[in-house]
Structure 1
Amino acid sequence: MSATIASPRWVRRIGGISRRSPTLAAGVFIILGFAAMALLAPWITPFDPELAQSRNVLAAPGGAHLMGTDGNGMDVFSRVIAGARWAFGIAIPAVLVGLLAGVPLGLYTGYRGGWFDEIAMRFFDALRVFPSIILALAVVAAAGPSLLNVVLVIGFLDSPVFARVVRAEVLALRHSTFVESAVSAGNPTWRILFVHILPNALQGAMAQTAVRAAWAVRISATLAFLGVGIQPPTPEWGAMIRQGAEYLVTGQWWVGVFPGIALILMVLGLNMLGDGLQDLLDPRRKAATR
């Protein structure tokens, strides 16, 4: 007599999602790995990521220093792990700022239309034409290279993406039967927007969050690499790559290569996560790719 053990419902659900979107599963796996690194960084880093050790400057990978040390004697392995905290600490707040600024604007412009909608869309078009990295570079350089300034600049530069996505959904929904019924019932505009339309228009914006988080990580690293973002000795991957670039010509490749690999993997994981979310949340996109 053989007995079958039923898998828990959440295990079957995860397995079903993985089969439907292997890209999503791979992205989740990568990002969960970096999230574990960020959360456990104080306990799994063998050395203080900001403590210089003058006796072990530019030590090659091996022994106590798995990824070697940098030009200040700091352990590269510890700094790569701690850098995951800064990557999430910039990406998550920047996406939230973009959502909080872009979603209400997209709701209002899509619902009201008229001259305000035209002005807002032309302003968004101007922002898209102007290179985002140049604009971020100028604003952060003028405001100062603090974490708050970097987050706010990246978030506000990203808000037009969320505004456009939500606006497109609102344009398709504003003449729906349930919206017209809400208007006929005498609901105020704010209630129609945030109670009736927003839950139905937010899906596209939520599918964009992981992709925009990848953009935020990439832009913050670029700013740090150019010297106007997060400053050393903070273990930020872009700043570490900048320092490592100075030593590539003399053969100390590990200083810049390991944080570069971490940056590539995290951006790849976020992009795969975002692509998988769009497949799951947008049936039309999934059908078009078949």
Structure 2
Amino acid sequence: MTDTAVATPRRRNVLTSRIKGLARRSPTAAVGFAIVGLFALGGIFAPLITPYDPVHSFPREILVDPGSTFWFGTDGNGMDIFSRVIFGARYAFAIAVPAVLLSLVIGVPLGLWVGYVGGALDEVTMRVLDALRVFPSIILALAVVAAAGPSVLNVVLVIGVLDSPIFARVVRAEVLALRSSTMVEAAKAAGNPTWRIVMVHLLPNAIQGAMAQSAVRAAWAIRISAALAFLGVGIQVPTPEWGVMIRQGAEFMVTGQWWVALFPGVALMILMLGLNMLGDGMQDLLNPRRRG
């Protein structure tokens, strides 16, 4: 037996043991991870799972009831709702992941710097961030996307910028608690420059809170993008995005075609539930005080 053949079962055993360990330590995180993982796999393998092209129209099959031919029925354009719901997971992650990464890129360095420097810079920065949070995020996002134009890129940029103060505040709070610690004092006494203290000693400890928030903020990003699409200023028809599908289906609810809006709405709620469970579980795992 070759070394590669031996190593593969070992890797599988390690992965299995880690998954079991996660389930024991935080069942909430494990369930959330399973839900998010299923949606991610569905989005990745959507062309293999779906029976039809998500934007292909069947002119003679408009508003067909759910059944054996069209599992979730068809919409007002004659498009297969099941295929569109599965492909919609791609757009959910395509918006949430870049938006959260952009928020981290903006918020984490900002929180690190102002938290460590303190003084007037900290006060001014926090007041500016407070001003951004005074206005409802959906109103700001609605105004900016309406002005910039409805596209995935604009939605990602708006959500990423609007959510960056959350990560800045989380990281700043951690830095404020750490900057007077023995670890930082020892690093200063050893002659470490400021950039090294911030990047080597503070960042690895301060970023845990931000990472724990990332799944929750991803759920928020998906909700905001769906709300923008529902209001008609986000992603547009015929893109298979859940908010667009819910907006299309809302007009048919009163005439009895409930399935047009129901299935994308259920998918949206389940994914948001999974992300929130994952985020809450991550906070339990990364914060010993919460576990206690």
The alignment's TM-score, normalised by the length of structure 1, stands at 0.94
Counterpart position of 1:212: 217
Percent of residue pairs identical: 70
1:58 counterpart residue number: 63
Superposed displacement of residue 182, structure 1: 2.5
Name the structure 2 match of 1:137: 142
Structure 1 residues 47-76: Cα deviation after superposition (integer angstroms, max 9, x where no partner):
110111111111111121100000000000
Query: For 1:20 and 1:197, how far apart are their aligned partners in 2?
Result: 26
SS of the aligned residue for 2:251 comes to helix
Map Cα deviations across residues 77-104 of structure 1 (whole Å, 9 max, x no partner): 0000000000000000000000000000
The range that moved more, 180-189 or 129-138, is: 180-189
TM-score normalized with structure 2 length = 0.94
The SS at the match of 2:102 is helix
Superposed, 1:71-110 pairs within 5 Å as: 71-110=76-115
Aligned to 1:199: 204
- 2 CA distance for matches of 1:40 and 1:148? 23
Q: Is 1:124 equivalent to 2:129 in the alignment?
A: yes
Query: Counterparts of 1:82 and 1:9 in 2: how far apart (Å)?
Result: 32
| Residue 152 (structure 2) aligns with | 147
Match of 1:3 in 2: none
Unaligned runs of 5+ in 1: 1-5
Amino acid at match of 1:130: F
Q: Equivalent residue for 1:23? A: 28
Query: How many Å apart are 1:32 and its aligned residue?
Result: 0.9
Rounded to whole Å, the distance in 1 between the matches of 2:35 and 2:168 is: 29
Q: Match for 1:194: what amino acid?
A: M
SS in 2 for 1:46: coil
One-letter identity of the residue aligned with 1:278: Q
Cα distance in 2, alignment partners of residues 63 and 45 from structure 1: 14
Residue aligning to 2:42 = 37
Which letter maps to 2:38?
G
What letter corresponds to residue 279 of structure 2 in structure 1? G
- Superposition RMSD in Å: 1.4
**Post-superposition offset of 1:160:** 0.5
1:175 to 160, 171, 180: 180
Counterpart residue number, 1:231: 236
Q: How far apart are the structure 2 equivalents of 1:196 and 1:21?
A: 28
Alpha-carbon distance between aligned partners in 1 of 2:181 and 2:40, rounded to the nearest angstrom = 41
Report whether the alignment pairs 1:69 with 2:68. Answer: no
Range moving further from structure 2, 184-193 or 67-76: 184-193
